[in-house]
A and B are shown apart, each in its own frame.
Chain A
């Protein structure tokens, strides 16, 4: 199992490498990060611009720049660059360290993403199984309708309404149950543990609901499909024919098998959910990866965009490996050497 994981991780390296070439070229040719500086009035001294160009490696050709970014060879003295050494290179904003920034924000975003995914998976399995078991019932039809509806609502449209709903609830009840900005209150020094917990929870409810909506809808449809497939399969019929209790058939045989496809989809969707966090974080003012991407793109911060995309790529790869490992747990026929 360990050997398999390592092999998969190693196999992911060329993919990430190729992705980095594509991303680097796209971003590098797309704009001049120093434009705002060049166009400043009154003009800044030429030397300042040259210094900045040198600092950001803009005085080199794109292949040279890529090489340095990748390996760190030929770096400016004292500069932390070279992705294979774990350095992300300089940001356009001199005082920003891309690695630190990524680290700070990854925690904020991944926490949101994981909680949303976890809830979405649980709810999707629940809804999908009920739908499948009670196929053609009213419950099935309403789950299906709400599933499709949820798939059709623009995330931010829903998020804005949800926010109004949360505020309305607060005011109607005279409490401050839901918060609309940030992932916690700024001044928590005097909080007790319990207050800290409710504070964090109060900040998380609305963004999590917004982020999980589409995933829940998509996955519940998926789960319904695979559950139906399994329920109609010969071995489940056999299990029933053998007189196993319904509950046992459902949980031990049907559900377990029907989870395999969902595992794949969940892993593949993680990239999309991180992308979806761009919207959720904007509406709820979370300082996470999503906002980092928008800021980096707007600032034409090449190394920062690159770091972001590679990090996201890495998360996707890791999730796919985890999904593969989960297969082995779910499906006894699969064993990794």
Chain B
């Protein structure tokens, strides 16, 4: 079984990818034949055409965001342009009323939004994986305590807590503060998935073998258990990127996102929300970039899921 995490409920949904196959199947192969397994996964991913195209577009967007500032003649602080001109040759995305070049703004916004999303992804993945692995590995009271804590967080609506927190952080409005808050709220889903994988793996022979050879707990967790959960973790991580981009947008709209003079895609469309009919270029360009990022990430996630768990591929084999 698998699913796509709802953007509105980043942490809300459970397993983001296939839980492990039941104990007693072919799992141990994963470690003994890692390389060929990797090749297999890659080959399966490459067969998912939408995912490959998406990966390509996503990388282009990344390049646009991070290399764009070195290529494009204006940067996001440029404000000497004419006010509110529609897209033209010198200002391909038009300008806003102050005379900011919107292309430079969108580049910067994409960069900041991507930075936020990637930081959120890293925090959530690391925290969630360790948390879930520790719970699943040690079981008993630690498991109970760790997972009850996850339950507690799950009772509180994500966006609501983010609003309450971000409104009051000193330096609120800086991209990293936002990323931190979102990251610290986004890991619960991954922790549940990883715990599930670890629970089913810890009783298997290769773990017992490692233990018999005197491997420490941390070594078993980090070298044997976590790598085996990599498939579900990677799929979850991609979905978190998409969800974080949308969460940033939502927070900006309520007024608790990145603040000027810095910018983000969410802030750009929020500022342009009344310009839909009067200066559409302010509204549509950043919006299209948000959709582009989230859409490509979702397809990449789908491709990865198929690659790691080929049973329900979208592509006919």
Contacts and interface: CB of A to CB of B under 8 A. Distances in A.
Interface of A: 15-16, 18-19, 22-23, 26-27, 30-31, 136, 140-141, 144, 147-149, 151-157, 160-161, 164, 214-215, 217-219, 221-222, 225-226, 228-229, 232, 261, 264-265, 268-276, 278-279, 282, 293-294, 297-298, 300, 305, 308-309, 312-313, 316-317
Interface of B: 1-10, 12-14, 148-149, 151-152, 154-161, 163-165, 167-168, 242, 246, 249-250, 253-255, 266, 269-270, 273, 276-277, 287, 290-291, 293-295, 298-299, 302, 311-312, 314-316
Contacts of B161: 23, 309
Given A214-B6, A278-B159, A157 B164 contact: no
Contacts of B3: 218, 221-222, 225, 261, 265
B155 A268 contact: no
Contact of A297 (B8, B164, B314): B164
A271 B312 contact: no
Contacts of B159: 272, 275-276, 278
Given A148-B299, A214-B6, A19 B156 contact: yes
A155 B8 contact: yes
B6 to A, nearest CB: 4
B155 A157 contact: no
Contacts of B246: 152, 154-155
B1 A225 contact: yes
A317 B270 CA distance: 33
Nearest to B163: A297
6 contacts: A30-B167, A148-B4, A156-B269, A222-B3, A275-B159, A297-B167
Contacts of A214: 6-8
B164 A279 contact: no
Given A153-B291, A312-B160, A268 B273 contact: no
A293 B254 CA distance: 11
Q: Specify the main secondary structure of chain B where it touches its partner.
A: helix
A271 B155 contact: yes
Nearest to B169: A30
A308 B1 contact: no
A278 B160 contact: yes
A214 B9 CA distance: 9
A26 B1 contact: no
Contacts of B157: 271-272, 274-275, 309, 312, 316
A287 to B, nearest CB: 16
Contacts of A269: 6, 8-9, 12-13
Contact of A30 (B168, B266, B273): B168
Nearest to A23: B156
